Amino acid sequence: MALEPPLTDLPIKTAERGFYRGFSIDVTVVSKVIISALVVWAIFWPTESGRILGQLNSVILENLAAWYIWTVALFVIVCLGLAIWPTAARMNLGVEGEKPEFSNFSWFSMMFGAGIGVGMLTWAVAEPVAHFGNNPEVIQGLTTGGAADNVRMAYKWSFLHWGLGAWACYAVCGLALAFFSYRRGLPLTIRSSLTPLFGASLSGKIGHLIDIVAVVATILGVAQTLGFGVEQFVAGLTRIGIGGLMNADGGATTVGIIVALLVIMGASTLSALSGVGKGIKWLSNINMVLSIVLLGFFILFGATFFGAQNMVLGLFDYLVALPELSFNVWTSDGVEGSEAFLLAQWQGWWPVFYWAWWIAFAPFVGLFLARISRGRSIREFVLGAMIVPALMCFVWFAWAGGTAIDLELNGDANGVIFDAANGDKIFAMTEFMLAPIAEFLAWGMALLIVVLLMTFLVTSADSAVLIVNTINAAGDEGPKARPHIIFWGSALGLVVAGLLISGGTSAIQTAMVIGALPFSIVMVLMCVALIKAIYNDGRREAQGIPTLAEQSSTPAE
């Protein structure tokens, strides 16, 4: 069968007038109804919603753990394969000769800030500490929890969850969107990435469904990040002297949650109204600079040698174990307390949860990456979007988490860090390090972390609002009507508030794992579609057939 030029036109019906002018009513209204129903359900029927969500989560973890684990392994393979494949690697995500809009520093700053920056301030300390206490090697009796022989295992598992797998989820989605939007001239929305498989039919109900799934996954994925961030933000406000926001157990009170969300979502909505080139770029550069200052503090005044050693050893252990860890699935024998049961349970709590989180976060970060990566080659995009941010995560874990473990191993901290709530661990550690020198130094560092956390949270939230509006507007980055920005900013805040108040972060985790499942199917199809498109483009180029939107307008794939 003779090759034809690719599909370069995918009309998506949008309203021409009224409140929804410029937006796809089918996608926007249905998405709003689903999210609004979730908010009402979680707030007014917290017990019932918690029970049903928990049951659905148990079914997914028991039956679909392998799906999540093998799917993320596929994403890593596809990304690395595209970077190596000569036909794909050299292709420009734009017209031939087009140059990137943003400098490398701004590009990396926005990627890191929107993609994972919030999590670093909570989990760079909390996760190595958690795995230091327990991990599969401890369960199997190979190492001892809380002892020196378990340090390397703590870093191996931390690096797995925040390494290539996490960023491959983002890269697959971002690469597919950038390829079909900037080379094909198709709308910058999720459905465009599946045109090699479904063609022009994506203009209709199939395409609407795909975009709705992406919007719901985005809201739930970002809600997960904001949920962790809000609790840490409240802990930070308490550390700098604002009382009444935390309860006796170290968790955020309802008042604390509301105050934090009003501050964060208010600032993020204002930033979203200014767009990517202004507010988000400006905030991303600020949080990158503050991140370097904070990380520099841990490297220079924390466990300098201990962190460097664990960076090297942890990276070695991670890369050696990566092939096995990417495909291994533990199956429970149903006997509570048995080794098989505990291993399967641990895998559900950690790798499966993380893979679901990254997949749910992928439509948001992927579309955002596509938006800021126009003009870069596929190889440059893959290496930049996977390896550089992953290394940044490893550095954070090595020195921030390494400092916490070193202080506790030496007996100096005496449980001050380990006993603190996850969101409060970084504050407890910096206070332990600085308070003996001068109280104002500890207060100043807590203030810096609060400001950094807020810039990360605002960057994530305002980026998410813009991305959701872009999907709802059929990929058009122009019509960002203020009422819709305000609605999605408010909706995101209410989802977080409702789930936190009714069931804490566990309720958000459960909703997010469930919401990620349908989008994981979309992402697998993205991989197939992208490989098919690149392969056919290579054949087209060999035959002199146009492959770019500016060269052809023939609607075929």
DSSP string across 112-125: HHHHTHHHHHHHHH
Per-residue tens of pLDDT for the chain, all 557 residues: 567 888 888 999 998 888 888 889 999 999 989 988 887 887 777 777 777 877 787 777 778 889 999 999 999 999 999 999 998 998 989 887 788 888 887 787 777 665 566 677 778 899 999 999 999 999 999 999 999 999 999 999 999 999 999 999 999 999 999 999 999 989 989 999 999 999 999 999 999 999 999 998 888 877 777 777 788 888 888 888 887 777 776 677 778 888 888 887 777 777 666 654 455 566 667 777 888 889 899 999 999 999 999 999 999 999 999 999 999 999 888 888 899 999 998 998 899 989 988 998 888 888 888 888 889 999 999 988 888 888 888 999 999 999 999 998 887 888 899 988 888 899 999 999 998 888 889 999 999 998 888 877 777 777 778 888 888 988 886 655 678 777 887 887 877 777 777 666 666 677 777 778 899 999 999 999 999 999 998 888 888 888 887 654 444 44
What integer pLDDT is reported at residue 272 of this predicted model? 64
Among 251, 392, 428, which Cα is nearest to 311's? 392
User: Torsion-angle region of residue 103: left (phi > 0), alpha (psi -120 to 50) or beta?
Assistant: beta
Residue 427: inside a domain: yes
Among 400, 421, 403, 423, which Cα is nearest to 413's? 403
Hey, what are 478's tokens? 């122009």
Burial level of 150, CB count in 10 A (0-12/13-18/19+)?
buried
> Which amino acid, one-letter code, is at 109?
S
Phi, psi of 377 (to 5 degrees): -75, 160
- DSSP 3-state assignment of 92? strand
Residue 554: inside a domain: no
For residue 463, the surrounding DSSP H or E stretch is helix 439-472
Among 550, 537, 521, 438, which Cα is nearest to 214's? 521
Residue 374: inside a domain: yes
Task: Count how many Cα atoms sit within 13 Å of the Cα of residue 357 in the half-sphere of its side chain.
Answer: 26
CA 274, 280, 285, 288 torsion-angle sign: positive
Number of neighbours of residue 427 by Cβ within 10 angstroms: 25
**What's the Cα-to-Cα distance from 82 to each of 10, 168, 523, rounded to whole Å?**
25, 12, 16
Query: Structurally, how many domains does the chain consist of?
Result: 1
Residue 14: inside a domain: no
Q: What is the value of pTM for the model shown?
A: 0.89
What integer pLDDT is reported at residue 113 of this predicted model? 60
Hey, what are 319's tokens? 């890369």
CA 48 to chain centre: 28
What integer pLDDT is reported at residue 557 of this predicted model? 47
For residue 181, the surrounding DSSP H or E stretch is none
SS3 string, 324-357, reads HHHHCCCCCCCCCCCHHHHHHHHHHHHHHHHHHH
Residue 502: inside a domain: yes
The CATH number linked to 385 is 1.20.1740.10
Residue 142: inside a domain: no
- DSSP 3-state assignment of 23? coil
Residue 479: inside a domain: yes
What is the span of the domain harbouring residue 403? Answer: 25-133+147-328+336-541
> Which amino acid, one-letter code, is at 502?
S
Residue 2: inside a domain: no
